[in-house]
Amino acid sequence: MDVSLTRNFCIIAHVDHGKTTLSDRLLEHTRTVTQRVLTAQHLDAMDLERERGITIKSHPVMMVYNAQDGHAYKLNLMDTPGHVDFSYEVSRSLAACEGALLLIDAAQGVEAQTVANAHLAFAQGLKVIPVINKIDLPSADLDMCTTQLEDILMIPAEDAILASGKSGIGIVDILEAVVKQVPPPRWHNHPHTRALVFDSIYDAYRGVIAHARVFSGSLKAGTQLQLMSTNTKSDIKEVGIFTPKMTKVPELAAGDVGYIVSTIKDTAEIKTGDTITTAIRPATEMLPGYKEVRPMVFCGIYPLESSDYEKLKAALGRLRLNDAAFVYQSESSLALGFGFRCGFLGLLHMEIIQERVRREHDVEIISTYPSVVYHVYQHGKDMLQVDNPVMLPDPGTIDEIREPTIQAAIHIPNTSMGDIMSLVMEKRGTIDNTDTLDATRVMLTCTLPLNEILVDFNDRLKSITRGYGSMDYELGEYKAGDLVKMEILINGEPVDAFSSIVHREKAPGKGKDLCEKLADIIPPQMFKVAVQAAVGGNIVARDNVRVMRKDVTAKCYGGDISRKRKLLDKQKEGKKKMKQIGRVSIPPDAFIQVLKN
């Protein structure tokens, strides 16, 4: 097929605005998937995606559309995630496209991630086609959507296509707009073969399978490829396209999106954003890849059974191949043994990775408290980056600790403004600006410490706004804060798995919660055991583990009281001795229960 009849586009939107359902209708209309085989959210292949109702990975698919101008067009579509934690997946998909369908929910209007994804597409120079989806909903408000489209995104309202992914309204209009407005593949006249790796997966039988967009030249089985970042050479065993399942083809030509099976077996050899060329006539200039993504959230992941360490290492290696935003390195803990320090883009990203380790690789794991990267300045020394509270140097040597902040855009209904402002203040944030979006909604621009939004901020935002609030954020600058290391002592000994870096004012409250939880979970001991939260040398909170006590006077019937007293004193001495030499072993499930919460 002529390269001028190929169109590469993706669907971008806020979470739950109907991207995957619209993809189903496009697959159905172009007869790419037969009605018998088609399932709801067909492109969401992962169990986790179906359970949670969200898209986690970008899914490519090739369709053939017979347009009204009489030509048959090859359409390469990518369905993308909407959640802020997976915006990196979106940027990778955009780099492999020339156009984007920007979906807006007719009932909810322009949301935080709609704005963020639209700006990503504009920055890449893509043709953006606005689509107002779900117009058949009883609560649809088209006037609000068109006004927001013009006021917030600066896109003319007459450009918007009215559609419904559920009932199939406007599907032909969308396909015609893609054919007419999205430009044909760029850079296809380049003299050398160049393809951009936008994703990869690991197959136990075939090794590493790269997902690539061919910009110029062609790739076919039998050719030797070369990875431009490392100059690694490998023979191509098979090439194919996504229909949406993997389908073998003789060659991938300019403008095509497909997969490449080669002799590369090691997951570390190929990375996302690399350029593939041919070894015979290699290109000299790489394709513009992606900016290196920096993880924002860190936590320790340890195998429940120490014998599973190597299995966990292999599992993380394969997930790293499939997810360039995920990083890990070895570490050890006194309480949990050998494991890995892992970096993620956010808390949902962390949850998904942990769940994939359990399901796809069958490794039971424990994870420590999530933390962020702090910049620690010491007397006369270089700045130290600390992502693990255990690595924090002696407080006497520290000049200041700086924590990462975020610039957040929070879209909320007017009625929730007071409660959200209180939530932002509670999380040590400041409100920089307030913009009125329309008669019912406002946008707050806030600066917040990243550490404060990790655990429950998004949940509370959703519950306060009854599900109508949304947030998008990007990393801001580092700011100095009154931060301290809080340790949990059990029977006077620190347990490193529970250490955390907190703001001094919040240490007593967080320490109290953790002590109460631990005192409740640790099984009763034979002697009195204190669970304490300490900052420096000061105890800021305390609780006691339940004491198990044998009734030594049970066999005494009447008689002199001194007999009972003698037995009780003997027990008292034994308890005193036990307290001096006794050790408390914390069962693994106690770690799991506390760290899960």
pLDDT, mean of residues 319-338: 79
Q: Does residue 474 sit in helix, strand or coil?
A: strand
DSSP codes, 62-120: EEEEE-TTS-EEEEEEEE---SGGGHHHHHHHHHT-SEEEEEEETTTBS-HHHHHHHHH
- As a whole number of angstroms, the distance between CA 401 and CA 392 comes to 10
pLDDT digits (tens, 9 = 90+) for 27-55: 888 888 765 556 555 554 555 555 555 65
Binding residue ranges: 16-21, 133-136
Instruction: Please provide the average confidence, as pLDDT, over all residues in the chain.
Output: 82
pLDDT (mean) for 190-212: 85
| Model pLDDT for residues 407-441, shown as the tens digit of each residue | 888 888 888 889 999 999 988 899 998 888 777 88
Q: What is the pLDDT of residue 51?
A: 57
Q: What is the pLDDT of residue 358?
A: 85
Q: Is the pLDDT of residue 592 over 70?
A: no
Q: Encode pLDDT of 181-195 as tens digits.
A: 999 998 888 888 999
Q: 3-class secondary structure for 277-313?
A: EECCCCCCCCCCCCCCCCCCEEEEEEECCHHHHHHHH
The closest of 443, 501, 532, 447 to 152, measured between CA atoms, is 443
Q: How many CB atoms lie within 10 A of CB 156?
A: 10
- Domains defined for the chain, CATH in brackets: 3-181 (3.40.50.300), 194-278 (2.40.30.10), 297-367 (3.30.70.870), 391-481 (3.30.70.240), 485-596 (3.30.70.2570)
User: What are 275-296's pLDDT values in tens digits?
Assistant: 899 988 888 888 876 566 678 7
CB contact at 8 A, 449 and 403: yes
Residue 385 confidence (pLDDT) above 70: yes
What is the per-residue pLDDT across 142-164, written as a single tens digit (0 to 9) for each?
988 898 898 888 889 888 999 98
Binding residue ranges for GTP: 16-21, 133-136
Q: Whole-model pTM above 0.85?
A: no
pLDDT at residue 36 in the model = 56
